[in-house]
């Protein structure tokens, strides 16, 4: 889920392959569908200077989505991947976002959440897709501080969120540092607010938690849904998605989207900046 300047709140229905948008001033209205793909659609970011175009983590790779045209694939690095444990394991992309420098980042995972099968990819301004981390089980996030110098990445299956420094000029990552460990659930979607605190949806617990930059728990929000999945901040309104998948007996609010007024605002999602001049604009 993301807050964008052009489309307001957008969210993905991953396994159904749908990109949806919510009417922010009429929250009871149904979602409007922006795109529907015949494979999982895991995350998107708007493309700068290209209204209606999205970069997407979808299926086994990264593509550009433009209304009325087929997906334009930049790369499909998880197609027929040999994970080193025998035959190729079915893989898909998972969560992703753009950073303040205009690069796009997205993780991958095995459908069966096989230990260590996932990776984190970075899409540079020229469309090159680079694997920057591997050995992850279920990557969620990443989330970036407003200055783009710090990235948070969850490995949900292992219950840990790690922090990396980011070189804004190259997109290079520093060594991982343990930020938060969750013992009673799985850290899922994340967003960083204006004070640098990180809001984390904790799958399986019915909670969203705000952690300060030093990793201390600041507050816990409780929801009537067991599997909070994604979060975003639209100014001082926190949006939370939840999931029904895997629940034998979903409750009436499992799969719903929630809003909560909070004290510290956020900012719109960063766009992906595509093209040969983008890195020079960032350096300037």
Residues that are catalytic: 188
Residue 281 phi, psi (nearest 5): -60, -40
CA distance 4 to 282: 20
Radius of gyration of the chain, Cα coordinates, nearest whole angstrom = 17
Alpha carbons within 13 angstroms on the beta-carbon side of residue 76 total: 12
Task: For residue 231, give the nearest of 254, 255, 252, 202 by alpha carbon.
Answer: 202
C-alpha pair distances (Å), 65 with each of 131, 148, 279: 21, 25, 22
| CA atoms in the 13 A half-sphere facing the CB of 218 | 16
Structure tokens at 97: 């976002």
Residue 183: helix, strand or coil by DSSP? coil
| Cβ count near 259 (within 10 Å) | 14
Q: Do 264 and 193 form a contact (C-beta atoms < 8 A)?
A: yes
Which distant-in-sequence residues (6+ apart) come within 8 Å of 257 by Cβ? Answer: 1, 11, 22, 239, 240, 241, 242
């Amino acid at each position: 889920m993301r807050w964008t300047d052009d489309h307001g709140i957008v969210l993905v229905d991953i396994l159904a392959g749908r990109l949806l948008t919510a009417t922010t001033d009429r929250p009871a209205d149904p979602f409007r569908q922006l795109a529907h793909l015949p494979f999982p659609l895991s995350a998107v970011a708007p493309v700068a200077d290209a209204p209606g175009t999205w970069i997407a983590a979808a299926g086994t790779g990264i593509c550009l989505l433009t209304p009325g045209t087929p997906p334009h694939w930049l790369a499909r690095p998880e197609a027929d991947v040999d994970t080193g444990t025998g035959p190729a394991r079915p893989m898909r992309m998972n969560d992703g976002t753009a950073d303040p420098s205009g690069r796009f980042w997205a993780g991958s995972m095995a459908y069966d959440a096989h230990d260590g099968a996932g990776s984190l990819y970075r899409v540079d301004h020229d469309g090159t897709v680079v694997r920057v981390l591997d050995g992850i089980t279920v990557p969620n996030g990443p989330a970036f501080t407003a200055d783009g110098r710090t990235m948070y990445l969850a490995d949900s299956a292992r219950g840990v969120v790690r922090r990396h420094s980011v070189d804004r000029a190259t997109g290079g990552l520093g060594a991982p540092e343990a930020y938060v460990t969750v013992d009673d659930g799985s850290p899922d979607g994340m967003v960083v607010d204006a004070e640098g605190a990180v809001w984390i949806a904790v799958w399986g617990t019915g909670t969203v938690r705000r952690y300060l930059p030093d990793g201390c728990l600041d507050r816990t929000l409780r929801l009537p849904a067991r599997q909070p999945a994604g979060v975003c901040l639209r100014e001082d309104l926190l949006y939370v998605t939840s999931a029904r998948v895997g629940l034998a007996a979903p409750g009436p609010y499992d799969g719903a989207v929630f809003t909560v007024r909070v004290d510290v605002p956020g900012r719109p999602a960063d766009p992906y900046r595509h093209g040969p001049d983008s890195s020079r604009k960032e350096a300037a």
